[in-house]
């Protein structure tokens, strides 16, 4: 069984997921969030679904890798295998609640409609946008998606400023509860 006690066990992998927009301030829309993979192990996240998604998310990833939920869906045979892994909708709803409650660190993003569509599609998909004023269609593809993820990585680097995003207070599944909690201070929202 993998060691889930520390965020370092995931190699610094991050989950990126889109959600219904919320507004922490009147002019700030957050429609996509990024969390440390270890946040999936939080006791307030539906289990064992969070653990199974965590294992799928972190397996074979590079340190610092940002993995959109859509990438996992693609890897799970276009989503056909999600029922065998877990209820991603319940898990992301739980993650979003943790974020709202400041119970974990997160990077909240207000992505443009095109950028959001790109991270919500598979890595080889295209997003088409029609401009009615020019009557032209613009196609955004894998290179554009990569650019969005690189920019999110830059924002993550600035947000972390020497301290990685923390998963909140988690306990290792089936592990000793004495002294194993990870303490953190949430990033200011």
Per-residue pLDDT tens digits for 161-177:
778 888 887 755 444 33
Closest CA to 106 of 42, 168, 24, 22: 168
| pLDDT tens, residue by residue, 91-124 | 999 999 999 999 999 999 999 999 999 999 988 8
Please list the residues that pair with 35 across neighbouring strands: 15
Each residue's pLDDT expressed in tens, for the chain with a length of 189 residues: 333 333 333 448 999 999 999 999 888 999 999 999 999 999 999 999 999 999 999 999 998 999 999 999 999 999 999 999 999 999 999 999 999 999 999 999 999 999 999 999 988 899 999 989 999 999 999 999 999 999 999 999 898 877 888 888 775 544 433 332 222 223 333
- For 24-86, the DSSP string reads EETTEEEEEEEEEGGGGG-TTS-TTHHHHHHHHHHTTPPTT-EEEHHHHHHHTGGGTTHHHH-
């Amino acid at each position: 069984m993998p060691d889930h006690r520390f965020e370092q066990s995931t190699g610094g992998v991050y989950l990126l997921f889109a959600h219904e927009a919320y507004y922490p301030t009147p002019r700030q829309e957050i429609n996509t969030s990024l969390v440390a993979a270890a946040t999936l192990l939080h006791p307030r996240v539906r289990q064992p679904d969070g653990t199974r998604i965590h294992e799928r998310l972190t397996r074979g990833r590079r340190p610092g890798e940002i993995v959109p939920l859509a990438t996992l869906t693609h890897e799970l045979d276009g989503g056909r295998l999600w029922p065998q892994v877990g209820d991603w909708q319940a898990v992301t709803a739980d993650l979003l609640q943790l974020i709202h409650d400041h119970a974990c660190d997160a990077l909240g993003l207000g992505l443009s409609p095109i950028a959001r569509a790109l991270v919500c599609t598979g890595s080889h998909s295209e997003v088409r946008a029609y401009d009615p004023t020019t009557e032209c269609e613009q196609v955004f593809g894998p290179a554009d998606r990569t650019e969005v993820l690189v920019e999110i990585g830059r924002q993550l680097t600035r947000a972390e400023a020497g301290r990685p995003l923390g998963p909140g207070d988690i306990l290792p599944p089936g592990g000793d509860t004495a002294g194993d909690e990870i303490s953190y201070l949430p990033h200011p929202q």
